[in-house]
Amino acid sequence: MRPAGASAGPAGASAGPAGASAGPAGASAGPAGAGARSYDHSVRLVLWRHGQTQWNVEGRFQGQSDIPLDPVGEQQAERAARLLAALQPSAIYSSDLTRAAMTASPLARLTGLTVISDKDLRERYGGLWEGLTDTEIRAQYPVEHSQWRPPEGETSVAVADRACAAMERVADTLNPGSLAVVVSHGAALRLGAARLLGLPEELWAVIGPLANCAWSVLGRRRGRWRLIEHNAGTLPEPVLSDDR
């Protein structure tokens, strides 16, 4: 879990208010739903991070520890669900961890869709770091912390490959012109998106972390992916996340 810090996006991108686009440099801003300017993308994925948990607030590395949403997180999920329902998604996929499933639930209720669970959308496994604060990780594992490499945990490459494969599977189920919401976790979404976009590993950090209950939108057209929005749904705010 990283200490609270301001949300950062790719070069030239900035997070905007609900429904506003925060895209890569040169991209036109606009909502991703019905009535938006057409970007002629065949399919779109809304990559939605779960709401706040108590471990987020305490600065603890969650990883795959199954921590539920706190009351603030539940409120965040309800608010965001009302916005995302307006996009008329055709499917909802979610990590099988409780905090992601709880986040997906209000959207499923509003849309009438069944949430499809996929364990490959889980957060990065943090090994010996899970449950520790950032201060504790720095003190106990200074070398690994400097490399952001949790002992007995997953590597960034493994998480990117796993999450990217899950996202591609979701996209392959969609009809042209449709959209799916993918509910997951900060590191899994960021690393999976970086892999989808074809970024080399040394540039993965140009995609900043997602705030609780914020989302990114990616579109695939002719086999190529494009970042349409990043960290949308809120005004810029501290990011309480395992991600860095």
Residues designated as active site = 50, 123
Structure-block tokens of residue 136: 């504790």
Tell me, what amino acid is at 201? E
Q: How far lies 170's CA from each of 33, 49, 53, 56, 114, in Å?
A: 19, 16, 26, 28, 14
Task: Find tokens 């055709």 and name the residue.
Answer: 90
Find the length of the chain: 244
Structure-block tokens of residue 25: 């440099």
Helix locations, the chain, DSSP H: 54-58, 71-85, 98-111, 134-140, 142-147, 156-172, 186-196
Q: Which of 84, 43, 12 is nearest to 232 (CA)?
A: 84
Contact in structure between 188 and 163 (CB atoms under 8 Å)? yes
Show the CA angle centred on residue 210, arms to residues 147 and 201, nearest 5°.
40
The residues near 19 (Cβ < 8 Å, ≥ 6 apart) are: 31, 33, 83, 232, 233
Tell me, what amino acid is at 14? S
